[in-house]
Structure 1
Amino acid sequence: MPRRVGRVFRPGSLADVKGRPTRNTVAGALLLLLFGSACAAHKGPTSNPRAERELASDLTRVFGAPVMSQGLWGVEVKSLDSGRVLFEHNARTLVMPASNMKILTLATAAETLGWNFCFTTTLETGAAVEGGVLKGDLIVRGTGDPTINSRNERAAAVFDEWASALKAAGITRIDGAIVGDDNAFDDQGLGAGWSWDYLQYGYAAPVGALEVNENVARLTVRPGATEGDPAVLELAPGSGLQAVNHAYTGAAKSAVTIDFERRVDQPILIVTGSLAIDAQPATRDVAVVNPTIYFAQSLKDALIARGIDVTGGAVDADDRGDLPAPDARRVLAQSQSPALREIATVLMKVSQNLYAETLLKAAGAAQGGLGTTEGGRVATRALLSSWGIPQSTYVQYDGSGLSRYDYVTADLIVTILARMFGDPRHKDAFVATLPVAGKDGTIASRMKKTRAEGNAIAKTGSIANVRSLSGYVHTRDGETLAFSILANSFTIPAATVNWIADLAVETLANFTRR
């Protein structure tokens, strides 16, 4: 296999800048340097068939490693400067993409919604205000904003704004319920082909038109008073789950083994394992049952904490037949999400599944009508068909790639990457969303001290027996390559698969035609 190359000094790189720029600043500046205006001055690559043959030979050895003989690779590498495919291996074989499916979802959202698209959430009512009291329900109506969460403390800021707006409207008490209107989307929160045994985890949280804290409730586990006592559980209100405590207090300095599972037939969360008597509280993120109820409960609690009393409960509008129609309500407060370009950065850099499912439904809603996954799939098919991409090259069941029914080819992914890179409407915004090797996102710890560090930008993917890595890298000559590396059906450690993929990208970064 090609040897790894150590850290290379790059004149003018950010390593020479004084001060301590933040990780995001460094990564963003690197992207501008590597993939921005400097690329416009790069001349097309000189033809060197021998160099291309040597590259193909190197990559054949990388992907032909015996350790992966029982697995399956789908790989394609294409020069975006010359348009030539430099390497392919099973490039047109359908394989599961895991979170590389987000590349399709983001391309669809960017084309359908636009990079400046924002979600809107409103507080509405049809009731009168008398003597500081809202004489009826407060209705929160959502269109899918996934950003009302703890990232940058946005949820707290939104609740602060809403409480202030209600007080400005003369409301200090609500004699009614907090009602969640989620009718912009359908009620199918889970994706087809999602595995039942991970539905309790935060990364599989259900999607809805109302989303708060990424539809994840915090489970806190504390040790009991003495060794052997039951552990003490606390589950955030509104989760829709009943916690059953099988966890106990372990001996001092013992390992933390807290885990949880969710019953398939009932909304019951079974907590197991132990927590040392001298341990700090353990926290776990649990997917909620009904995002709308969770949002309404969170809003109710937030208003009470900010001095607005609420006498009613937290209710899903679907359970109420007496609500005024939207055009019969008046708006008391309104919030807009950050623009899609900011939402997409979280989507891609941390691989946020809920964001992906939300954007797919929003793309469907933009075609007119209800936000559904099928509507989003229709939008994806329309986009890819307009690019001349046949439907036989992919199977899409969700937006995130959690589904094991999803299939793509490496050639498809590279084609989309080339399209987004070559379109001035999308290039800069799309490139900025991708994790930077050795710097941030899901590849912050990968490819360090190589020519790929701070150079390669790529979307990862990870579900059981699937790993993927697709994006862009510059060669030693400054040539821009798009690549897709998809691994399926392996039983070796996933870290070994990632190492092989990284080695391939490092090989591309070291490629020269000279």
Structure 2
Amino acid sequence: MLKNFFLSFLFLALAQPQSISSKLNSLLKDKFFDTCLVSIQVEDLTANKTLFKKNEKMLLRPASNMKILTSAAGLIFLGKNYEFTTNLFYDGHISNDTLYGDLTVEGGCDPDFTTSDLYPFIDAIHNLNIKVITGNLNGDISFKDSLYWGKGWMWDDDPSSDAPRLSALNLNDNCVELLFENGITRLSPSTSFVKILQNENDSLFVVDRDWLNNTNNIVVRGKPRENVNFKINIINPEKYFLTVFKETLDSNHIQVLGEINTTKYHPSGNFLSAVKRKYSDVIINLNKNSDNLSAEMTLYAIAEKYFGRPATAENGLKKINELIDSLGLDSRNYRLVDGSGVSHYNVVSSELIVKLLKYIYEKFPAEFELLYESFPIAGIDGTLENRMKMTKAYNNVYAKTGTLTGVSCLSGYLTSKKKHTIAFSIMMQNFVGSSKRAKDLQDKICEILSSY
């Protein structure tokens, strides 16, 4: 009798995980996986047990799942209260309404600085009753190195907003927006830094950069049939920042007589104002909207804090590799080259991602909450806004998407039917055409896990 009781208990204990395993294995027999590689690991963090794994050690491209490593490293090594700071200084002397000297903006790799953030600087200048600046408008870009893209970023991603130029001085995601509305073409922000070259006689509507001369001129051929917007990255983001700043000063009746220069901050300058942005705010845009600039600037901030200036991606990645080693894994078994996952050179495993998600959950409860809340929510917001609606995974899956050509990943957390916290990573690579089928299969996996 006692023997039968224990056998029944054992059967009940194993039934649920086997059910999940059976359902997932059945799903993975889909013809899609005849040619597409897949790596999956699922961990019940509440019960501290593995629910499913397949090819979990296989090295695949993470795409934007790389942001999980970068954003987690930001929480651990920078902290939620770290501030991306853009400082404004002046040198020389002020007489009446004139500054006889220069203005210098010191870049702090703030990825979310926009045109509206220039107005605290305008107010600070107005408070000193300055209307004329006889000197130059300088930009200190010494915070980071001079590399404008990550290693392995592809030339044909240009001029996409997904491949922004990287600088210590960033403005509007280092992009301009081209708006076609009711037959009128305009730029946002309106700036002389970018010129539109328009030829409406072409039958095919095309928007592209002036490749031949490698300039910020935007070539528009033909006319759109409806109102559309295009976001295009710009070359020399620090000069873009300074140009828009100078134009904003001018529109607010502050005239700069000198030139725009990039330089290093002169230590004798007088502090005037600062715009500060906490990492706890940056991580939301980083993960919810999969913002590549935010991820790369986080990597540079880590590098600058621990290794000094000029910050490099390599130094930031040293700290992420330290984090990987602390998981009980060997960082030498993976290749990381950027913070955003834009590069096809990155290779990691679903095992690594789940171990990191588990590590944050167990060792850093406060940071876990911030990481969890920064992830897109299925059917609600971010890059998961239009996925898993009308399913059990709706409003339950908090996960980071990842997409490159031939790559689709989804990793994060969900709550099971038993109210257990589940960490999972799904990586798919080497398919042709749209990623829709890969995403549909990922969504089905999340439905199965949500029913556990």
In the alignment, structure 1 segments of 5+ residues that lack a partner are 1-45, 150-154, 225-230, 251-255, 319-324
In structure 2, C-alpha distance between the alignment counterparts of 1:453 and 1:117, rounded to whole Å: 33
- Matched residue, 1:436: 377
- Matched residue, 1:263: 211
Whichever residue aligns with residue 164 of structure 2, its letter is A
- Structure 2 residue 420 is the aligned partner of structure 1 residue 479: yes
Per-residue deviation, 1:88: 1.0
1:234-256 CA deviation, whole Å, 9 max, x = no partner? 58677866654445476xxxxx8
In structure 1, C-alpha distance between the alignment counterparts of 2:261 and 2:344, rounded to whole Å: 34
- Matched residue, 2:5: none
- Matched residue, 1:55: 20
- Compared CA separation, residues 261 and 302, structure 1 to 2 (3 A): closer
Per-residue deviation, 1:177: 2.2
- Compared CA separation, residues 279 and 455, structure 1 to 2 (3 A): closer
1:267-316 CA deviation, whole Å, 9 max, x = no partner? 2656254215x854x43211111111111111111111222122233322
Per-residue deviation, 1:369: 1.2
In structure 2, C-alpha distance between the alignment counterparts of 1:462 and 1:369, rounded to whole Å: 32
In structure 2, C-alpha distance between the alignment counterparts of 1:491 and 1:474, rounded to whole Å: 32
- Matched residue, 1:129: 94
Q: 2:58 aligns with which of 93, 108, 115?
A: 93
Q: 2:270 aligns with which of 330, 344, 349?
A: 330
In structure 1, C-alpha distance between the alignment counterparts of 2:217 and 2:440, rounded to whole Å: 36
Per-residue deviation, 1:48: 1.8
- Structure 2 residue 287 is the aligned partner of structure 1 residue 348: yes
- Classify the secondary structure of the residue corresponding to 2:319: helix
- Matched residue, 1:152: none
In structure 1, C-alpha distance between the alignment counterparts of 2:380 and 2:215, rounded to whole Å: 40
- Percent identity between matched residues is 28
Q: 1:177 aligns with which of 109, 128, 136?
A: 136
Pick which of 308-317 and 160-169 moved more: 308-317
Tell me if the contact between 2:322 and 2:331 (Cα under 8 Å) persists in the aligned partners: no
Whichever residue aligns with residue 93 of structure 1, its letter is M
Tell me if the contact between 1:92 and 1:393 (Cα under 8 Å) persists in the aligned partners: no
- Classify the secondary structure of the residue corresponding to 1:406: coil
In structure 1, C-alpha distance between the alignment counterparts of 2:390 and 2:425, rounded to whole Å: 22
In structure 1, C-alpha distance between the alignment counterparts of 2:313 and 2:328, rounded to whole Å: 23
Q: Describe how 1:265-414 pairs up with structure 2 within 5 A.
A: 266-267=214-215, 269=217, 271-276=219-224, 279-280=226-227, 282-317=228-263, 326-337=266-277, 339-370=278-309, 371-414=311-354
When the two structures are superposed, what TM-score results if normalisation uses the length of structure 1?
0.81
Cα RMSD (Å) of the superposition? Answer: 2.3
- Structure 2 residue 108 is the aligned partner of structure 1 residue 143: yes
- Matched residue, 1:19: none
- Classify the secondary structure of the residue corresponding to 2:307: coil
Per-residue deviation, 1:64: 2.1
In structure 2, C-alpha distance between the alignment counterparts of 1:384 and 1:89, rounded to whole Å: 21
- Classify the secondary structure of the residue corresponding to 1:500: helix
- Matched residue, 1:447: 388
Q: Aligned residue pairs: how many?
A: 440
Tell me if the contact between 1:239 and 1:294 (Cα under 8 Å) persists in the aligned partners: no
- Structure 2 residue 108 is the aligned partner of structure 1 residue 161: no
Pick which of 488-497 and 499-508 moved more: 488-497
- Matched residue, 2:406: 465
- Structure 2 residue 33 is the aligned partner of structure 1 residue 77: no
Tell me if the contact between 1:217 and 1:239 (Cα under 8 Å) persists in the aligned partners: no
Tell me if the contact between 2:178 and 2:185 (Cα under 8 Å) persists in the aligned partners: no
1:377-414 CA deviation, whole Å, 9 max, x = no partner? 11111222233221144211110100010111000000
Per-residue deviation, 1:83: 2.1
In structure 1, C-alpha distance between the alignment counterparts of 2:79 and 2:261, rounded to whole Å: 33
In structure 2, C-alpha distance between the alignment counterparts of 1:121 and 1:395, rounded to whole Å: 32
Tell me if the contact between 1:191 and 1:403 (Cα under 8 Å) persists in the aligned partners: yes
When the two structures are superposed, what TM-score results if normalisation uses the length of structure 2?
0.91
